[in-house]
Amino acid sequence: MPQDKQAPTQEQLLVRFGLGLANWSERWFPDPLIFALLGIVVVFLAGLGLHQSAAKLAIQGGRNFWALVPFTMQMVMIIIGGYVVASTPIVYRAIRALAGIPRTPRAAIALVALFSMLTSLISWGLSLIFSGLFVRELAHRVKGMDYRAAGAAAYLGLGAVWAMGLSSSAAMLMATKSAMPPSLFNISGLIPLTQTLFLWQSVATTAILIVLSVLIAYLSTPSPENARTAESYGIPYEPIRSSLNLEHRTKPGEWLEYSPLLTILVAALLCWYLVDVFRTSPQGALAALDLNTYNLMFITVGLLLHWRPKRFMRAVAECIPATGGVLIQFPFYAVIFGMIVGTGIADALARLLASISTHNTYPLLVAIYSAVLGVFIPSGGSKWVIEAPYVLQAANLHQVHLGWVVQIYNASEALPNLVNPFWVLPLLGILKLKARDIVGYGVLQLMVHIPVVFFLCWLFARYIPYLPPVK
């Protein structure tokens, strides 16, 4: 198109590079389940190379197939909780109000980036849905806004800081004894959120990444003359309000489905319980915020905001397809976990990581390793379950703060999300785009984020003293 030829040369090169990467990944990047299955084969062969018996590897893998069932369900509930809250009428009204603030494309895309990251600190599931709806509203209101850049900004929560917030799979797992396999608990003990998410170093890292990401999104936004708008993609404006309206009740037996009575009673009961959990926690309110409590809070809020059981169940039904990958993949990752922990593989990997690093270089090694592995295993929770045993064991050997190691993992494993199409699928469904349409801007963010994240992981590790595991 003529307008594309007017774009700045540097921006065109970056966009072409991103589009080339996306085209390659769409053609050659297999379904994420393939990586889980390949992981089982690779770990099995590695175990044979480390002189583990084939029978022991197979038995330990199969024995742990169901070991992550509680954790799997907790991940599913994060997706459901985020969706049911984001799709409520009151939240959608807030989205429409926010969409009336920016007047220029640059301001609009910067605002999308900011709220994408802020909401991801609460829930990555909420972030994807909230940001997608926000972009749709802005595309209707702000003329000349580049739809690709806005879509990439909406994904920044998952690509920059989500794992540094309350929906961090790794941090929540380490703070939830019931979700941890016993063998992992024996290595690390319980690591409360005060030693992970709420370390000052973690908060500072998160703030730096948010400011940096918003600035890049703002400066890389094309002018209206060079923009590819939603209209140019043939995407019409579709407000969500119509889908929130319920059809009229036709049967007497349906009256409770349309009445808020049960919603109020059940939500009041759950709120009573949640208040008691935070009030009576012997280690303080933050220590009580584990995966189970966090998910229950979201479900309770979603139930209240939807007001009627019928509307709440409709929202749940709409998001269930997005949970399929988690439901089937996590048991296979548990097989990998079982083979690593149940044999001598974890000890061998811990010794390897310890032998090629020192107390000062170990944080940087973990950051690089986690980022690279994240390209092949696009799931923060399942990948951490695989890495945690030997990564934390080596951290104990080098006396590196275990909570900061969790945060190093969180900050670095999110980096590949900027170019990995796995978690972006719910957002693309809302925006009606393809991954290749937005990944060019993800590459631009990634080029800046990698050195900054690695440097901060190494720098802040120098100011956190080692604490022995608490069991």
Residue 2 pLDDT grade (very low, low, confident, very high; cuts 50, 70, 90): very low
Lowest mean pLDDT among 22-31, 61-70, 389-398, 429-438: 22-31
The residue to which tokens 């993800």 are assigned: 442
Arithmetic mean of pLDDT, 406-412: 94
Lowest mean pLDDT among 138-142, 173-177, 248-252, 417-421: 248-252
Highest mean pLDDT among 295-304, 351-360, 384-393: 295-304
Between 76 and 54, the higher pLDDT residue: 54
**pLDDT tens column, 64-93:** 898 878 878 887 887 788 788 888 888 888
pLDDT at 418 over 60: yes
Using only the alpha carbons of the chain, give its radius of gyration. 23
Of all residues in the chain, what percent carry a pLDDT higher than 90? 32
In a domain, 2, yes or no: no
In a domain, 313, yes or no: yes
Q: What integer pLDDT is reported at residue 79 of this predicted model?
A: 79
Neighbour tally for 403: CB within 10 Å: 26
Arithmetic mean of pLDDT, 309-324: 83
In a domain, 164, yes or no: yes
Q: Which amino acid is at 215?
A: L
Q: What integer pLDDT is reported at residue 379 of this predicted model?
A: 61
Q: What is the pTM of this model?
A: 0.76
In a domain, 318, yes or no: yes
Q: Which whole-number Å values give the CA distances from 297 to 165, 268, 289, 313, in the listed order?
A: 15, 12, 10, 17
In a domain, 245, yes or no: no
Which range of residues forms the domain containing residue 301?
A: 7-236+257-461
Residue 247 pLDDT grade (very low, low, confident, very high; cuts 50, 70, 90): low
In a domain, 288, yes or no: yes
Longest Cα–Cα distance in the chain: 71
pLDDT at 423 over 80: no
Q: What integer pLDDT is reported at residue 191 of this predicted model?
A: 92
Q: What integer pLDDT is reported at residue 6 of this predicted model?
A: 46
Q: Cα angle vertex 393, ends 470, 423, to 5°?
A: 95
Looking at every residue in the chain, the average pLDDT score rounds to 83
In a domain, 250, yes or no: no
Tally of structural domains, the chain: 1
Arithmetic mean of pLDDT, 436-451: 87
Contacts of 153 (CB under 8 A, 6+ apart): 109, 110, 112, 113, 116, 131, 135, 217, 441
pLDDT at 5 over 90: no
pLDDT at 375 over 70: no
In a domain, 241, yes or no: no
